[in-house]
Amino acid sequence: MSQRDVTETTESQIAVHWQEEDYYYPSPKFIGQANLTDPAVFDRFKLDNFPDCYVEYAEMLSWYKYWDEVLDTSDAPCFKWFKGGKLNASYNCIDRHLAENKNKTAIHFVPEPEEERIDHITYHELYVRVNEFAALLRNKAKLKRGDRVTIHMPMSAELPITMLACARLGVIHSVVFGGFPASACADRIVDSQSRVLITMDAYHRSGKLLDHKPHADEAVKLSEEQGQTVDTVLVWQRYPGKYSSDKPMKDGRDITVNEEIAKYYGERIEPERMLAEEPLFLMYTSGTTGKPKGCQHSTGGYLAYVTGTSKYIQDIQPKDVYWCMADIGWITGHSYIVYGPLSLCASSVIYEGVPTFPDAGRSWRIAQNLDVSIFHTAPTAIRALRKVGPDEPAKYNYHFKHMTTVGEPIEPEVWKWYESAVGKGEAIIVDTWWQTETGGFLCSTVPGISPMKPGSAGPGVPGIHPVIFDDEGNEIKEAGIAGNICIRNPWPGMFQTIWGDRDRFVKTYFERYCKDPKSTDWRDWPYLTGDAAMKAEDEYYRILGRIDDVINVSGHRLGTKEIESAALVADEVAEAAVVPVAHDIKGTEPDLYVSLKPGFEPSEDIAQKVSQAVIDQIGKIAKPRRVWLVPDMPKTRSGKIMRRVLGAISNKGDVGNVMTLANPEVVDTIKTMVEKE
């Protein structure tokens, strides 16, 4: 057995306990108002009509110049969509709505403290603020088309304003999740070669005003040590006019945006006419080994794809108040809080804090107060909301027409609570399966057309043609057999490459099933998603989890290698191995096994220190359930750590035959240790 097997076994074990569920059908009321109800869409988007079918999405945008070619495959697998076309993402998300809808709310910003008033920003106001900030970025920070800028900000209205100002200038933004520590921010600054960092002084979380500025200082310092100088730090104030951090502003480097921007009041910036294939942003994601991968997303293909899927799959219409609970620092927030909904002129809700703060009813009060019609969250949040307040939704007068779940497989039991309690039996649900790399949805039901099935993402969305391969590259056509799910064809939302590392892009996502590495025919380049899945008779896909060494905690991907190398930062540690263990809220969480260098005795202090090292390096999200200090790791004779065995022990499963190991006796010792707890 290879090391990879552990994630495969444990994650799929969680999933395959599920039975096939009965269908749920969309209500006539939903169908009556839906954007898409004509099943002919599947004909229009069948492979015979590829790639021209995607013109339907491109035409949802406003272009300065139409494309010369829908799909250029000459540099496969770096595909270029709508080649030669020119557009601007900020224009599409703001300017084009002004004539009809300038007084409509674009963003509802909901502060965590309930006594603070909600900020309702109209499309006109968004236009003003984005232009003024773009002027500051251009004139003060000296940013220009093609430059990269790193953004380390919390959930705030200023975050999409910052992103859209970058997009207006053609500056490539790289948003780092606000909860990540300085080291993660620094890695991304260095990799993207950003000389400007944009941050905020503080933000509210779980009832506390957290000081965020120290992370910027530390990130700049760490970047400098790695050879990347940040000469400008732009600091938004959470409370304009009042600095909320204990750390001083550094003269000559730090600029208070809220003061500086006064110099640009009334400025208007002509949007850059970007080529469709020019990058819009980078979004970093964990990989199996080494440094995080900067997924490079295009301007035209990406925006067309998130607009098309927001319209058809999320059924977003200008009249909707749409609330996606994800953080903008993840791809879900980019595609389905900012770019998709704003391109369709919806009102998008941004909530600063924790969904259950100060009590279990908070989310439903927000829904009621803003009359939210579309709701979007992840199984981990649904499980948490169900745990703290299963009867809370009924106490509030809101009515969703549509709900999304994303990020990890959802257990049918949880799905049913989401449907009946949160959706009040009125809302349809889409279970959308996709990834940072894919820009937008891959599998989901089309809400006005296909029935829902709890626990299954559904068929490929229009234009996406999934295929399951076995390890040898044979197509698995039968229902009910798990394999590696791939996508046969490129699509406009897919990332263009890994920033600065084309080889890694090809190797990670295409090499395994590419028939001819020299081919410029897209048919030779199936995209390897890295997930295991199986198909049911009705062509609905059920996602079973990652096939590579990535642990999915609360819908966030953490590389096992990253966690293990963080543990090794503690001096006492000789070896570390991390495995996913089932958790009823988070889906899975990391369980960390550590063996100590000679001369060190196991102690609670060391375990604490290792745990803290992981938190410091990666963030609280990676906090191990337990740090087990073991006398030795179970190893093969060639010296490979058997994570499969550790995974089985953590999950109280069968360790199988261990007699071929170099040190079988250690398995019992570890087992006894874990079982005792």
Residues that bind ligand PRX (CB under 6 A): 285, 331-332, 406-409, 431-436, 457, 529-531, 543, 545-546, 552, 555-557
HEC per residue, 319-353: CCEEEECCCCCCHHHHHHHHHHHHHCCCEEEEECC
Q: What are residue 576's DSSP bridge partners?
A: 594
CB nearer to ligand PRX: pick between 317 and 380: 380
CB nearer to ligand PRX: pick between 162 and 432: 432
Distance in angstroms (rounded) separating the CA atoms of residues 173 and 166: 6
3-class secondary structure, 69:
strand
| Contact (Cβ atoms closer than 8 angstroms) between residue 51 and residue 70 | yes
Q: Least distance (Å) from ligand PRX to the CB of residue 638?
A: 29
Q: Degrees (nearest 5) of the Cα angle 475, 48, 296?
A: 75
Q: Least distance (Å) from ligand PRX to the CB of residue 378?
A: 8
Q: Least distance (Å) from ligand PRX to the CB of residue 458?
A: 9
Q: Least distance (Å) from ligand PRX to the CB of residue 360?
A: 25
Instruction: Give the list of residues 6+ apart from residue 243 with CB closer than 8 angstroms, or none.
Output: 201, 237, 249, 256
Phi and psi at residue 53, in whole multiples of 5°?
A: -50, -30
| Contact (Cβ atoms closer than 8 angstroms) between residue 485 and residue 543 | yes
Q: Least distance (Å) from ligand PRX to the CB of residue 556?
A: 6
Q: Least distance (Å) from ligand PRX to the CB of residue 387?
A: 20
Other beta carbons within 10 angstroms of residue 278's beta carbon come to 18
CB nearer to ligand PRX: pick between 311 and 557: 557
Q: Least distance (Å) from ligand PRX to the CB of residue 449?
A: 18
Q: Least distance (Å) from ligand PRX to the CB of residue 496?
A: 16
CB nearer to ligand PRX: pick between 258 and 335: 335
Distance in angstroms (rounded) separating the CA atoms of residues 539 and 544: 15
Distance in angstroms (rounded) separating the CA atoms of residues 304 and 306: 6
C-alpha closest to that of 29 among 308, 373, 306, 309: 373
CB nearer to ligand PRX: pick between 300 and 409: 409
Q: Least distance (Å) from ligand PRX to the CB of residue 69?
A: 29
| Contact (Cβ atoms closer than 8 angstroms) between residue 195 and residue 205 | no
Q: Least distance (Å) from ligand PRX to the CB of residue 437?
A: 7
Instruction: Give the list of residues 6+ apart from residue 566 with CB closer than 8 angstroms, or none.
Output: 613, 614, 616, 617, 618, 622
Distance in angstroms (rounded) separating the CA atoms of residues 409 and 455: 7
CB nearer to ligand PRX: pick between 347 and 438: 438
CB nearer to ligand PRX: pick between 461 and 630: 461
CB nearer to ligand PRX: pick between 87 and 452: 452
| Contact (Cβ atoms closer than 8 angstroms) between residue 541 and residue 557 | no
| Contact (Cβ atoms closer than 8 angstroms) between residue 561 and residue 605 | no
Per-position DSSP letters for 503-566, written without gaps between them: HHHHHHHTGGG-S-TT---GGG--EEEEEEEEE-TTS-EEEEEESSSEEEETTEEEEHHHHHHH
Q: Least distance (Å) from ligand PRX to the CB of residue 495?
A: 11
Q: Least distance (Å) from ligand PRX to the CB of residue 412?
A: 13
CB nearer to ligand PRX: pick between 237 and 285: 285
Q: What six digits make up the tokens of 36?
A: 């898409």
Tracing tokens 């990890």 back to the chain, one arrives at 408
Total residue count of the chain as it appears in this document: 677
| Contact (Cβ atoms closer than 8 angstroms) between residue 412 and residue 455 | yes
HEC per residue, 339-397: HHHHHCCCEEEEECCCCCCCCCCHHHHHHHHHCCCEEEECHHHHHHHHHHCCCCHHHCC
Q: Least distance (Å) from ligand PRX to the CB of residue 588?
A: 11
Q: What residue number has its CB nearest to ligand PRX?
A: 436
Q: Least distance (Å) from ligand PRX to the CB of residue 589?
A: 15
Distance in angstroms (rounded) separating the CA atoms of residues 528 and 523: 13
Instruction: Give the list of residues 6+ apart from residue 142 with CB closer than 8 angstroms, or none.
Output: 232
CB nearer to ligand PRX: pick between 271 and 545: 545
CB nearer to ligand PRX: pick between 132 and 531: 531
Q: Least distance (Å) from ligand PRX to the CB of residue 245?
A: 30
| Contact (Cβ atoms closer than 8 angstroms) between residue 551 and residue 560 | yes
| Contact (Cβ atoms closer than 8 angstroms) between residue 526 and residue 487 | yes
CB nearer to ligand PRX: pick between 295 and 370: 295
* Packed helices 643-650 and 665-676: angle between N→C axes, nearest 10 degrees: 30
